[in-house]
Amino acid sequence: MRDASVHWYAAGMRREASRSEPPFAEQLLAQADALYNFARYLCRDPAEAEDLVQDAFARALNAQASFAVGSNLRAWLFRILRNSFLDAKRRQRKYPVTEREESEFEGVGSDQWLRGDIELDSLRGFVARDIEAALGRLSDDARSVVLLDLEGFSETEIARVMDSAVGTVKSRLARARAALREALMEYAK
C-alpha cells in the first residue's frame, strides 16, 4: 500500500512541475532564432529558411503529443527542421521547376528590398562572405553537422538530430572542419 502512495505522490509532483513550465508553444518560440539561423544556412535563402522554420513549428505543434517531456526539446526541433529540409529537397527533385516557371518568378525571392541597408552591408563584410562561401561548398550533411556543432549541440545530440551513429557524426565533423580550415586558410595567418 505504501508503494502505491509513493507512486501517486511522484505522479502529482510531475504534474506540478509540468504546470510551472511555460506553454509548449512558448518553449518552441524560444528556439526560433537558432532554428532560423540553421535553416538559413541549410537553404541558403532567407525566404526559404522562414518557410522551413514555419513548417518545422507546424510539425512540432502537430507532434506535441509524441514529445517526451524532460527530453531535449531543442534537439527535437532541430531534427524536425532538418527532416523538413530533406523532405523539401526530395519533393524538389521529384517535381523540379522548369526554366520557364523560374523566369516567371524571377525577382520574387530577391533581396532588392535589403539593398541600401548600411548595417546589413557591413555584416556582409570580408570574412562573412568567405565563411558563407566555404560553408556553401560543404555537402548538406557536413554543413548540418558544423552548424549544429556551432549551436552548441554535443556529438550525441547531433547524432540524434541527424539520425546517425555518433562515430559518423565525429568523422563528418572532422572532415568538414578540415575542409573549412583549408578554405579559410588565409585568415589563419
Is the whole model's pTM more than 0.85, yes or no? Answer: no
Quote the CA–CA distance of 163 and 176 in Å, as a whole number. 18
| 116-184 CATH | 1.10.10.10
Distance CA 154, CA 149 (A): 7
Set of cell numbers at residue 155? 556529438
Provide the residue-wise pLDDT of the chain in tens; the chain has 189 residues.
444 444 433 444 344 444 567 888 888 888 889 999 989 988 888 899 999 999 999 899 888 888 888 888 898 999 999 988 988 888 887 776 655 444 444 444 444 544 555 654 554 565 677 888 888 898 988 998 998 998 889 999 999 988 999 999 999 999 999 998 888 887 666
Closest CA to 74 of 21, 142, 137, 151: 151
CB-CB contact of 180 with 135 (8 Å): yes
What would the CATH number be for the domain defined by 23-105?
1.10.1740.10
For the chain, the domains span 23-105, 116-184
Residue with cell 552591408: 121
